[in-house]
Amino acid sequence: MFERLIVDAAARYPRDPAMRLGLDLAPSFTTMANDVRRAAGWLKKAAIAPGARVVIHLKDAYLHWVLSFACEARGIVFIPEAPSATLDADRLAFLGACHVLSWTASPGIEGIGWSTIDRMWHLRLRTLRVVALPDRARAPDDPVCILLSSGTTGSAKKVLLTREAIDGRLGHVLAAYTGERGRGLLCLVPVQSFTGFMSVLTGWGQARAIGVRLAGESYAALLATGWFDVIVAAPIHLADVLTDLPEDAAPAAGLRLTTGGSPLGDALAAEVRRRLSPDLRMGYGTTEAGVVTRAPLISADHHVGYAGIVLPWVEVEIVDGAGTPQPTGTSGEVRIRAADMVDSYLDDPEATRRCFRDGWYHPGDVGRLDAERGLTIEGRVDELINVGGRKVLPALVEARVLALSGVAEAAAFAIHDAGDGPRLGIAVRGDASIDPTAVAGAIPEFPGAVVVRVEALPRNAMGKVERRVLADRWRRP
């Protein structure tokens, strides 16, 4: 399925756009299919062998995907990396890469092949002859790509996705969608993430045009074109969209929003419904197990951490420290089982033993299930803060602080003092009316809590708060 997404769409809709790159460029499915064929031929001439690991490190989203499909056609394992990532010798050794396709010039790392993929490369590509894609046998366990887990609370881990895993996840999601083909999908989530990767593939599985916002372009201008009826965005991206829209903007007709990756606060959800679209959906998933839950967020009535209904093809259990399943409504550690999940991390047997046990994947989340298979994520096991013998999940503290007037964002973290146990730290962002005394008063069970004001919370590309950064910043000698 994966390898035929563009080719099949080109056969059915040859002149329709495969991508909309900002307001001006819209290469068709036929153009993209031909460029994939050319790029596959170029990879062969570049002597990049099947089975090799190749890093794709590009700003140009179109060329990113052209080369991704071309790598698959040649049997090359591709590794998407953010264009802002620094690819030094240590990083490439961790990835196990032998070649890099990058928008930057080669830094001259010994043993690493390097191809600079820029505008001139693209122009030269268009001069190459369109050749047939390699006619090679494919097996379910063929390695296709390596994605990295988020690594917000520890080092990033490599997840190898096989053909079976990608096609299984894609098939499940496509089967869940019914109705007409639709217009286009604007993906604001980085394609290096699992959410971005699968969202784009799902869009092409529906023969939609995939939208890309170019640097400096207006969200308002993109939405005004009417090209898109689906937007995939983390909460942090939705906040950026709202900043670009007029205060009196009216919701767009027929627009569906899908969000996840980090909690969506009630205030942001209300503004999204008022000025962007009332059709707001949420979900929870992992790179290792795929999409786990989905639910419409019809109102602000859902409680903090609600992640949606567990999907039919996924099993979720809540267990205690001994691995014993817990009753409905009881908090505990989340574990997941699905037919198309992976069963290990690449090159990391220790993390594999820790997270994959008895056929289940343990993402490290704390949560609970209700009677309707609704999943609430309360926090992470490794984010538990032990303050004076009292263990607390940051999300539960943050919910109380966010209810205070003037607070726009809040993040709880541990402040470590030499010789003493950790104290609770609360980083808050908001208007000048925030009263630190009131913030501390909202959590009276933690005397001595330190309240700090910040201009912005440190977040990764999916909008998840990086608590380690906060803890390091306010570490007391």
pLDDT of residue 476: 60
pLDDT above 90 (res 35): yes
Q: Kindly state the helix (H) or strand (E) to which residue 379 belongs, with its residue range.
A: strand 374-380
Q: What DSSP character marks residue 465?
A: B
pLDDT above 90 (res 468): no
Q: What DSSP letter does each residue of 77-89 carry, written as one string?
A: EEEE--TT----H
Distances (CA, A) of 223 to 143, 164, 249, 350, 438: 37, 35, 11, 46, 40
- Of residues 173 and 28, more confidence is placed in 28
384-473 CATH, one of 3.90.870.30, 3.30.300.30, 3.30.70.360, 3.30.70.20: 3.30.300.30
Distances (CA, A) of 449 to 4, 165, 414, 421, 428: 56, 45, 10, 12, 13
pLDDT of residue 298: 60
Q: Which residues contact 96 (CB under 8 A, 6 or more apart)?
A: 53, 346, 347
Q: How far apart are CA 193 and CA 47, in angstroms?
A: 28
Percent of the chain with pLDDT over 90: 54
pLDDT of residue 400: 84
pLDDT of residue 396: 78
Asked whether the beta carbons of 238 and 272 are under 8 A apart, the reply is yes
pLDDT above 70 (res 334): yes
Q: What DSSP letter does each residue of 280-344 carry, written as one string?
A: EEEEEEETTTEEEEEEE--STTSPTTEEEEEPTTEEEEEE-TT-PBPPTT--EEEEEEETT---S
347-359 pLDDT, tens digit per residue, is 999 999 999 999 9
- Of residues 23 and 472, more confidence is placed in 23
pLDDT (average), residues 238-248: 90
Percent of the chain with pLDDT over 70: 94
Which ranges in 206-284 belong to alpha helices (H)? 219-224, 235-244, 266-275
pLDDT (average), residues 398-422: 79
Q: What amino acid is encoded at 202 in this protein?
A: T
**Residue the block writes with tokens 């083909």:** 181
pLDDT (average), residues 47-69: 96
pLDDT of residue 349: 95
- Which of 13-22, 163-172, 422-431 has the lowest average pLDDT? 422-431
Mean pLDDT, rounded, of the chain: 88
Q: What DSSP letter does each residue of 89-109 carry, written as one string?
A: HHHHHHHT-SEEEESSPP---
Q: What is the sign, positive or negative, of the torsion defined by CA atoms of 386, 391, 395, 397? A: negative
pLDDT above 60 (res 300): no
Give me the torsion for CA of 258, 264, 267, 272, rounded to 10°: -10
137-188 pLDDT, tens digit per residue, is 889 999 999 999 865 455 789 999 999 999 999 998 888 766 667 889 999 9
78-100 pLDDT, tens digit per residue, is 999 999 999 999 999 999 999 99
Domains 1-7+26-137 and 384-473 agree in fold: no
Q: Name the residue ranges covered by the structural domains of the chain.
A: 1-7+26-137, 384-473
Asked whether the beta carbons of 362 and 335 are under 8 A apart, the reply is yes
pLDDT (average), residues 316-320: 95
Reference 100, options 121, 124, 84, 116; nearest CA is 116
Residue 210: strand pairing partners = 19, 185
- Which of 99-103, 234-238, 424-428, 430-434 has the lowest average pLDDT? 430-434
pLDDT above 90 (res 407): no
Q: State the CATH class of domain 1-7+26-137.
A: alpha beta
- Which of 386-390, 405-409, 445-449 has the lowest average pLDDT? 386-390
Confidence of residue 457 (pLDDT cuts 50, 70, 90): confident
Distances (CA, A) of 123 to 38, 99, 120, 395: 12, 21, 5, 50
pLDDT above 90 (res 346): yes
Report the chain's C-alpha Rg in angstroms: 23
Reference 29, options 206, 166, 171; nearest CA is 206
Q: Extract the tokens encoding 438.
A: 């009131």
